[in-house]
């Protein structure tokens, strides 16, 4: 779509979507583009995908990643939105911190994909050999796995999906855990065994793609709202409300899964862990769905989880009264 390469059918660009550059992020952006074009009757060229390098993609080292804080994946996209270089940003909602710049708004959540984790390297958790090495850098996966299999050892595994699968193949770990949604989007559907949520609970917002834009950009807000999936949106807001009430992030040992039922009620279940997996506190709550404010019942639920947790677990989370 450059000026010196005109084509007879060249389409005017209607929307510029910023995305991270990893293969998974690009697959997510393609899905957003497909849905936008279908909803508005546009040709593919009407939505331009603009790849930006996110800070998190440049950092392979955990210590550096921690200095970068929670905004690792979103900061560059935020800046590009502010500068008007893109109209909207495509995010994997699992990686989006709960506190966002007030001038930005999550305008659409796409229909959620499979939220489960997939175990790669063994057919089930029980089938993992005694003392095996579990490759993961996610505190939730590490703590949950150590809770179920305290005989195992966690080794740090960073990088994108392909990198982690390559590390596994190279023998750096015996098993790893990946999101089913990510594997699906990369066409890796034959890889590993999906874990039942009753056995291994997923991360807040896992499997959900969100689109964010400037809060004052009414044109983009309207275009994006056409592809919003209300049920998924409610589930994601609920899970993020819990994460926020626990003052957690994607670096916290928190699992949560909300399901919105056809009767309009939301079921939320969650588990918090101590980092070593020795403490596990699970709970479940149901309440009437309200897109605008899942916060009240969720805050009480979060307080109850923390009350039942051991001091070592509570210390991982924010200060709660």
Cα–Cα distance measured from residue 287 to residue 266, given in angstroms and rounded to the nearest whole number? 5
Of 175-183, 237-245, 260-268, 309-317, the window that binds ligand PBG (rule: CB under 6 A) is 175-183
Q: Rounded distance, CA 169 to CA 171, Å?
A: 5
Look at residues 211, 203, 160 and name the one whose alpha carbon lies nearest to residue 185: 160
Length of the chain: 321
Of the pair 17, 309, the CB lying nearest ligand PBG is at 17
Contact 181, 113 (CB under 8 A): yes
Give CA–CA dist 131/134, Å, rounded: 9
280-312 residues labelled b (16+ CB within 10 A) or e (exposed): bbebebebebeeeebbebbbebbeebbeebeee
Look up 95 and say whether it is catalytic: yes
Chain positions 127 to 166 lying near ligand PBG, rule: CB under 6 A, are 161
Does 191 interact with ligand PBG (rule: CB under 6 A)?
no
The binding track of 23-52 with respect to ligand PBG, each residue x by CB under 6 A or -, is: -x----------------------------
Per-position b or e across 10-27, b if 16+ CB within 10 A of its CB: eeeebbbbbbbebebbbb
Question: How many chain residues are in contact with ligand PBG, going by CB under 6 A?
Answer: 11
Q: Collect all residues with Cβ–Cβ distance below 8 Å to 174 and sequence separation of at least 6.
A: 121, 122, 128, 129, 132, 133, 134, 135
Using CB under 6 A, pick the residue from 54, 107, 146, 178 that binds ligand PBG: 178
Which residues in 246-275 contact ligand PBG (CB under 6 A)? Answer: none
Instruction: Give the separation between CA 245 and CA 306, rounded to whole angstroms.
Output: 10
Q: Closest CB to ligand PBG among 203 and 266?
A: 203
Among 107, 179, 243, 309, binds ligand PBG (CB under 6 A): 179
- When the beta carbons of 181 and 289 are compared against ligand PBG, the nearer one is 181
Q: By C-beta, is 24 or 268 nearer to ligand PBG?
A: 24
Which of 209, 117, 203 has its CA nearest to residue 164?
117
- Taking the complex as a whole, the smallest distance from the CB of residue 278 to ligand PBG amounts, in Å, to 24
Task: Indicate whether 182 belongs to the interface with ligand PBG (CB under 6 A).
Answer: yes
Pick the binder of ligand PBG from 14, 92, 249, 274 (CB under 6 A): 92
Q: Which of 33, 35, 91, 94 binds ligand PBG (CB under 6 A)?
A: 94
Question: In the set 19, 77, 88, 95, which binds ligand PBG (CB under 6 A)?
Answer: 95
Catalytic position from the list 87, 95, 117, 174: 95
Strand 265-273 with 280-288, pairing = antiparallel
262, burial (CB in 10 Å: exposed 0-12, middle 13-18, buried 19+)? exposed
Toward ligand PBG, which CB reaches closer, 185 or 214?
185
Q: How far is the CB of 56 from ligand PBG (least distance, A)?
A: 9
Strands 47-52 and 280-288: unpaired
Q: Which of residues 192-251 bind ligand PBG (CB under 6 A)?
A: 206-207
- Which residues are marked as active site? 95
Residues near ligand PBG (CB under 6 A): 24, 92, 94-95, 161, 178-179, 181-182, 206-207
């Amino acid at each position: 779509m450059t000026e010196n390469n005109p084509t007879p059918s060249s389409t005017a660009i209607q929307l510029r979507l910023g995305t991270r550059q990893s293969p998974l992020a690009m697959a997510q952006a393609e899905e957003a583009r497909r849905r936008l074009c279908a909803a508005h009757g546009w040709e593919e060229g009407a939505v331009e995908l603009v790849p930006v390098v996110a800070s998190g993609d440049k950092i392979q080292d955990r210590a550096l990643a921690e200095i970068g804080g929670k905004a690792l994946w979103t900061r560059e996209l935020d800046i590009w939105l502010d500068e008007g270089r893109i109209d909207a940003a495509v995010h994997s909602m699992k990686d989006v911190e709960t506190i966002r710049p007030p001038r930005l708004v999550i305008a659409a959540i796409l229909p959620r994909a499979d939220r489960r984790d997939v175990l790669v390297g063994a057919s089930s958790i029980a089938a993992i050999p005694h003392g095996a090495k579990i490759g993961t850098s996610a505190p939730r996966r590490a703590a949950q796995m150590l809770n179920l299999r305290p005989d195992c050892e966690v080794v740090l595994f960073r990088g994108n999906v392909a990198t982690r699968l390559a590390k596994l193949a190279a023998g750096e770990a015996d098993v790893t855990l990946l999101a089913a949604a990510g594997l699906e989007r990369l066409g890796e559907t034959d890889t590993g065994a999906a874990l039942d949520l009753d056995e291994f609970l997923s991360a807040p917002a896992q499997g959900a793609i969100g689109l964010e834009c400037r809060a004052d950009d009414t044109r983009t807000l309207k275009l994006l709202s056409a592809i919003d999936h209300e049920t998924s949106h409610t589930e994601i807001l609920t899970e993020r409300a819990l994460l926020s009430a626990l003052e957690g992030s994607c670096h916290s040992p928190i699992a949560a899964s909300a399901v919105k039922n056809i009767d309009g009620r939301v079921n939320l279940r969650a588990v918090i862990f101590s980092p070593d997996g020795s403490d596990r506190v699970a709970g479940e709550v149901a309440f009437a769905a309200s897109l605008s404010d899942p916060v009240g019942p969720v805050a009480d639920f979060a307080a109850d989880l923390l009350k039942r947790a051991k001091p070592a677990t509570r210390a991982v989370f924010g200060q709660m009264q």
